[in-house]
Amino acid sequence: MKIDMMNNMKRYFVIFLFASMWFSTYGGLVKRLADTKLINSGKFFVDVQAEKEKQLKELQNELATLTKSEKAVFEEINRHIEGTKNLSASVERELIKNPDDDYLNKKLAILKETYQVLKETQRAREELISFITNFIKELKKFLDDPDFSKFKKEYKLQERLYYSFEDLQKLHETILDQEGLVTQLVDRQKNVRAEYESQKHTIAANKQEYEKRKQKLREIASIPLENFGFGMDVQQETDLLELEEQLYRLTETLNEVDLKEVTYRISFVELQLFIAKAQLDMLKDHLRAIKPSIRVSEADVAFAKDELIKEQQEYFSRKEMIRQEREKTSKQKKAREKELTQLAKRLNIELGREVDEWSKEPKLTVPSYLSLAQVGVLNSYLRALNKEIELLDAQIALEDEKLNYQSLRTKSKETYYKIAGRKFVSEEDITQERKKYETQKEKAKALRLVYREKINAIANLLNQLKKVLDNIKDLHQNAREKKAIIFKANIREYNRFEEFLNRAEGYVKKQIDTLTKLTSAYSAIIAEIKSTIRLIDFVIGELQSSTIWYRPEYAITWQGVKNIIPDALAFLKDTRLYIMRFNPGIFIGNIKEFFSDPFKVFVLTLKLLVWIISLLLLRWHQQTITNLLFSKSLKYGGLLRVIGFLCAAILRFIGTHVVGVILWIIGWLLLQIAPDPYLYILFYLLSIPYLLYFSYRFMRFIMQLNRQYNYVLLAQDFQRRFYLIISTLLYATIIIFFFRQSFTLSSYYRSELPRILLAVNFIIFQISLIFLITKEQILSIISQKTDFWRWVRSQVDTYYYLLLVFVIAIIVMSNPYVGFGRLVLYLLSSLVYTALFVKGLVWVHDIFKRAVSYIFFISDDPVTRERFTYAKTWFGLLITASFLIFGFIGFIVIAKIWGWPIGFNDIIGLLNTELLQKGTKHPITTLSLLEIIGFVLAGFVIAYALNKFVLDKIFDLLLVDTGVQHTVTRLIQYCVIIIAVFIGFQNVGLGQLIGVLIGALAVGIGFYIKDPISDLVAYFIILVQRPIKIGDYVQIDPDTTGVVRKITARSVIIRKKNSSTLVVPNSYVISRSIENWNYVRNFIAFNDINLTVIYKSDPLQTKEILLHV
């Protein structure tokens, strides 16, 4: 039974392992499907809706209380304000008589501050009522439409059969806007929470100050009058302290109102953030849902291009109108520039900054004032024309950006058509397309930065123009004041001067107006560039999502990984600072505030009692419950036994350590008294060592219980492995979970550390499951019934640890937060397809090889014979050629499997890659080398055909001597091959290299191969002089005698009488005197004659007959 249970556990572990691996790859999809199902079922916001309804009732009650008491409170505050005003007026009257009275000055300061606090309290209560009213409206708006039907209708999120590319693009822009809103709300939430903490610290500080004042008041009251000293008397000091005490109470009331408002603002921002996130999720879900329904056809792309052509025509028309206007203004500018230069020269006024800013001081003469005004007004007019030209240029740039956006939109539609229709051939094509868009994006960003700098420059220029207007007004005022002195007898000139100034002021105002329009134009350009960047990001995202390198948006980034240590250190540093700056006053205030609400105290007490009573009951009845569970679980086998045993073990452990469990639960529940996030953080951090200790005791308890019950849960040889792995998993989970929870409560909203910790925890869990399964358990699962499974088992046995590393790598890469699931799936599928294809290709090649063998060989069991001469050679050549062809086909197909499809043009381009002599007219390429090799092979074929079908026929007719036949055949063969080599080099344009190659070979390797060269030269001498020929019986030295059987380029083959063969170098043959019995015609030497006799013949008699012959 124990063996069966262990086998079942093995199967459960394997099934659970593969399920967890599958979930790591498709967990995000399952999550989305689950969310979609919940939304469609109408149960998505059930808990939230109930919570918001409760919050609405609380707000309505609060608003009713505030409204009911508003009139009385308002009258009370007004009464205090009037009293404070009257008292302040009385003190001010006394101060007129005694301005240096310290008591009266301090009293007046306190009264003024009291008056200000009362006014602030009145304003704060009005704002609180207004805020609660708005909050109630938002809550009602949410509760009236909890499933966001209006939002869906507004953004057309209803299901349709067909969606266009424009719908997809618009939805993407809406998602970007919504993401921006969520980011703003997260920052606002962070700021409001910081304001809440600051407000609490302010209240605590005021309270401490108030306690000090009260203590001082008590001390003053205890001092005898005769010991009080100089300065203010006891009554005055007491009066001031009482006013300060009153001021504190009023300030405390104000702070409480402000704190209440901040509290409601936190809830309000949380509501807005919740709604924004929910709407963002809806938009993203809708985007995922409609993507398969997006239809972009070739006709849509063609229609978009036609529309772009129309838009271009309108663009050119508008641009031409603006250009003509600019040209007209430019002509006016040039004419005015010339006029201004002549006028300034004639009136002897230097143009520059003083004239531009109207800061030049005229002399106290009429001509000086008129000259400055005349030059200044013309200069102002010229500067106004410059601004108009800049505005026209901005309008042209705006038209350019609009057309650029339309062009990009058409191009993006074409790109999406390629993505949807899978028109991109390879990943490289997608990468190149993405790089084009990224280049455009960088240009757009740089251009946006330029226009932002221009807007900043315009802001500075507007400030300067305001100063210019002030300078013109000052000059006008100056002339008006000195009119009686300077323009006393020149009223007509004064009127001209005023006219010039009024015109100049109009021109400056025109510049301001033009600059305002220019700012609007630049802002419109920036908006167009922003739309362009958004469109580019959308297309880049679509291109990225179509590649194997696509990662989900929630995947961990490399920057997040690099920030792990800085984020953790910053978190620990902030926690340490909180501990050092812990304010007991705030903590005590929170406790008092909690206990001031009876309902909260009742709920907390009830929770404590329920937990404590439940755990104590478990402690008292644990023996009965666990014994029952143990007895029942032992009656069953398999999974039920395991579950029952574990439940009993957990209950017994909790009952044994009930005090420690109760203490931890009490600590967790008591945190509700003072809802400070850092108290939760400290509790979670301190819980880590506490729970690690309990985990250690729990694992020891499980092992001991397993031994006690005769290894009913775990086999003896498996227990230690289980203990080590599960303990490690448990410790890691506790550390990661509680550290993550504490980090999440801090203000690091944009840190990726929580996601990283979650991913690490899940990866550790999966790896632990893998390590729980031993090599022997895996092998025991694999069947041995067929040869294939036996082969699989042997491979797993041999490469187990390599496969283990491979599986762990797959788990890590496939984790949703790592985000390389698509890449892993691509690699695995490609490996499988490659293995299957290679196996199939090898099988086809084996079939081809067996089929060809029947052509070249005859099989007579047990002997295989050649069908014709050189059959083995031709068979080897054919098999080699077929291997190369099959390998080439395999290379092309495997390249296509791995996303690198190779076509004919790609192969030609690869063959034409320059290897040597790059950049010359005739570079050496792979194709040229193959052509040369082809010509050489053709030379061999032609030489063989010439010898076989021409020379052999001639020799048969003319009865040519055998030696002559051999000589002529060899010479013609070498000549044909050499000619083929020459033609090959010449065909690829490398004919000039033949002489160089021959010279290099002769000089470079001549010394090292002088003996082979000597033999080769001797070979040609033998062929020409013919001292020996095939068939001659020769003697070169006493040990070298026999019949010449073959003459090669290196040696002469001689057959001796005893049928042994001698290989004699050609150089040795021509350097010795040769005795040749066949050199003259009257002596004939025959080749060896083979005779066959039957086995029953007498050997001695056969030899005697042969010698006699």
The pLDDT score that the predictor gives to residue 229 is: 46
Q: Which residue has the tokens 């034409």?
A: 912
Residues 6+ apart with CB under 8 A from 779: 793, 796, 797
And the tokens for 777?
A: 């358990």
Cα separation, 1101 vs 1092, whole angstroms: 14
Residue 104 has pLDDT above 50, yes or no: yes
Cα separation, 412 vs 169, whole angstroms: 10
Contact predicate 1010/1067, CB 8 Å: no
Please state which of the ranges 90-94, 220-224, 504-508, 929-933 shows the lowest mean pLDDT: 220-224
Cα separation, 242 vs 234, whole angstroms: 12
Clarify whether residues 1101 and 1025 are in a common domain: yes
Contact predicate 593/211, CB 8 Å: no
Clarify whether residues 350 and 470 are in a common domain: yes
Contact predicate 563/752, CB 8 Å: yes
Cα separation, 1045 vs 1025, whole angstroms: 18
Clarify whether residues 92 and 159 are in a common domain: yes
And the tokens for 520?
A: 């609007």
And the tokens for 289?
A: 């849902």
And the tokens for 350?
A: 């230097």
Q: What is the phi-psi region of residue 989: left when phi exceeds 0, alpha when psi lies from -120 to 50, beta otherwise?
A: left
Q: Is 184 inside a domain boundary?
A: yes
Clarify whether residues 268 and 322 are in a common domain: no
Residue 602 has pLDDT above 80, yes or no: yes
The pLDDT score that the predictor gives to residue 526 is: 93
Question: Can you tell me whether residue 678 is helix, strand or coil?
Answer: helix
The pLDDT score that the predictor gives to residue 1087 is: 52
Number of C-beta neighbours around residue 441 at 10 A? 17
Clarify whether residues 227 and 317 are in a common domain: no
Q: Which long-range contacts (CB under 8 A, 24 or more apart) does 874-881 make?
A: 878/852, 879/849, 879/852
Cα separation, 1004 vs 524, whole angstroms: 75
Percentage of the chain modeled with pLDDT above 70: 86
**Which residue type sits at 458?**
I
Cα separation, 482 vs 362, whole angstroms: 12
And the tokens for 933?
A: 């090799």
Please state which of the ranges 39-43, 296-300, 629-633 shows the lowest mean pLDDT: 39-43
Q: How confident is the model over 130-148, as a mean pLDDT?
A: 88
Clarify whether residues 362 and 264 are in a common domain: no
Output the 3-class SS for 161-224: CCECHHHHHHHHHHHHHHHHHHHHHHHHHHHHHHHHHHHHHHHHHHHHHHHHHHHHHHHHHHCC
Clarify whether residues 200 and 261 are in a common domain: yes
Cα separation, 172 vs 156, whole angstroms: 13
Positive or negative, the Cα torsion across 16, 18, 22, 25? positive
Beta strands per DSSP E along 803-874: 857-860, 863-866
Question: Can you tell me whether residue 344 is helix, strand or coil?
Answer: helix
Please state which of the ranges 29-33, 423-427, 588-592, 629-633 shows the lowest mean pLDDT: 29-33
For 363-424, the DSSP string reads: PSSHHHHHHHHHHHHHHHHHHHHHHHHHHHHHHHHHHHHHHHHHHHHHHHHHHHHHHHTT--
Residue 1067 belongs to what domain range? 921-1108
Cα separation, 386 vs 365, whole angstroms: 32
Cα separation, 668 vs 665, whole angstroms: 5
The pLDDT score that the predictor gives to residue 737 is: 93
Residues 6+ apart with CB under 8 A from 197: none
Clarify whether residues 946 and 964 are in a common domain: yes
Q: How confident is the model over 261-270, as a mean pLDDT?
A: 88
Clarify whether residues 288 and 374 are in a common domain: no
- Can you name the residues that pair with 864 across neighbouring β-strands? 859
Cα separation, 532 vs 81, whole angstroms: 58
Final residue before a domain boundary, out of 523, 546, 569: 546
What backbone torsions phi and psi does residue 107 show, to the nearest 5 degrees?
-65, -40
Terminal alpha carbon distance of the chain: 94
Domain tally, the chain: 3
pLDDT band at 598 (very low <50, low <70, confident <90, very high): confident
Q: Is 676 inside a domain boundary?
A: no
The pLDDT score that the predictor gives to residue 370 is: 83
Q: How many residues does the chain have?
A: 1109
What backbone torsions phi and psi does residue 4 show, to the nearest 5 degrees?
-60, -40
The pLDDT score that the predictor gives to residue 826 is: 84
Residue 693 has pLDDT above 90, yes or no: yes
Residue 735 C-alpha from the chain's centroid:
28
Q: How confident is the model over 876-902, as a mean pLDDT?
A: 83
Q: What are the helix and strand counts (H, E) for the chain?
A: 34, 9
Q: Is 697 inside a domain boundary?
A: no
Which candidate, 778, 829, 835, 782, places its Cα nearest to that of 804? 778
Residue 903 has pLDDT above 70, yes or no: no
Which candidate, 981, 985, 990, 984, places its Cα nearest to that of 921? 990
Clarify whether residues 251 and 308 are in a common domain: no
For 612-654, the DSSP string reads: HHHHHHHHHHHHHHHHHHHHHHHHS-THHHHHHHHHHHHHHHH
Cα separation, 1098 vs 1105, whole angstroms: 11
pLDDT digits (tens, 9 = 90+) for 467-526: 888 888 888 887 777 777 777 767 777 788 888 888 888 888 898 999 999 999 999 999
Percentage of the chain modeled with pLDDT above 90: 12
pLDDT band at 803 (very low <50, low <70, confident <90, very high): confident
| Per-residue DSSP letter, 148 | -
pLDDT digits (tens, 9 = 90+) for 946-991: 877 777 777 776 655 666 677 677 778 778 888 888 888 777 777 6
Contact predicate 196/263, CB 8 Å: yes
The pLDDT score that the predictor gives to residue 1015 is: 78
| Per-residue DSSP letter, 556 | P
Q: Which residue has the tokens 């009930």?
A: 658
And the tokens for 116?
A: 């200000």
Q: Is 308 inside a domain boundary?
A: yes
How are beta strands 924-925 and 914-916 bridged, if at all?
Answer: antiparallel
Clarify whether residues 243 and 372 are in a common domain: no
pLDDT band at 735 (very low <50, low <70, confident <90, very high): very high
Number of C-beta neighbours around residue 58 at 10 A? 11
Which candidate, 127, 113, 129, places its Cα nearest to that of 81? 113
And the tokens for 203?
A: 């209240």
pLDDT digits (tens, 9 = 90+) for 1017-1044: 888 888 777 788 888 888 888 888 888 8
- Can you name the residues that pair with 206 across neighbouring β-strands? none
Final residue before a domain boundary, out of 293, 325, 340: 293
Radius of gyration of the chain from Cα atoms?
A: 51
Mean of the per-residue pLDDT values of the chain: 80
Which candidate, 479, 480, 473, places its Cα nearest to that of 364? 479
Q: Is 782 inside a domain boundary?
A: no
| Per-residue DSSP letter, 240 | H
Contact predicate 673/590, CB 8 Å: yes
Cα separation, 283 vs 179, whole angstroms: 10
Q: Is 109 inside a domain boundary?
A: yes
pLDDT digits (tens, 9 = 90+) for 25-54: 444 433 443 333 333 333 333 457 777 888
Peptide bond into 1099 cis (omega under 30): no
And the tokens for 345?
A: 């020269």
| Per-residue DSSP letter, 349 | -
pLDDT digits (tens, 9 = 90+) for 815-824: 888 888 888 8
> How far lies 1017's CA from each of 430, 753, 1024, 1066, 1079, in Å?
62, 82, 11, 8, 22
Residue 1090 has pLDDT above 50, yes or no: yes
Q: Is 690 inside a domain boundary?
A: no
Final residue before a domain boundary, out of 293, 320, 344: 293
pLDDT digits (tens, 9 = 90+) for 187-224: 888 888 888 878 877 877 777 777 777 776 666 656 55
The pLDDT score that the predictor gives to residue 222 is: 61
pLDDT band at 15 (very low <50, low <70, confident <90, very high): very low
Element housing 924 (H / E): strand 924-925
- Between residues 635 and 157, which one has the greater pLDDT? 157
Clarify whether residues 463 and 319 are in a common domain: yes
Q: Is 619 inside a domain boundary?
A: no
Residue 773 has pLDDT above 80, yes or no: yes
Output the 3-class SS for 1079-1100: CCCCCCCCCCCCCCCCCCCCHH
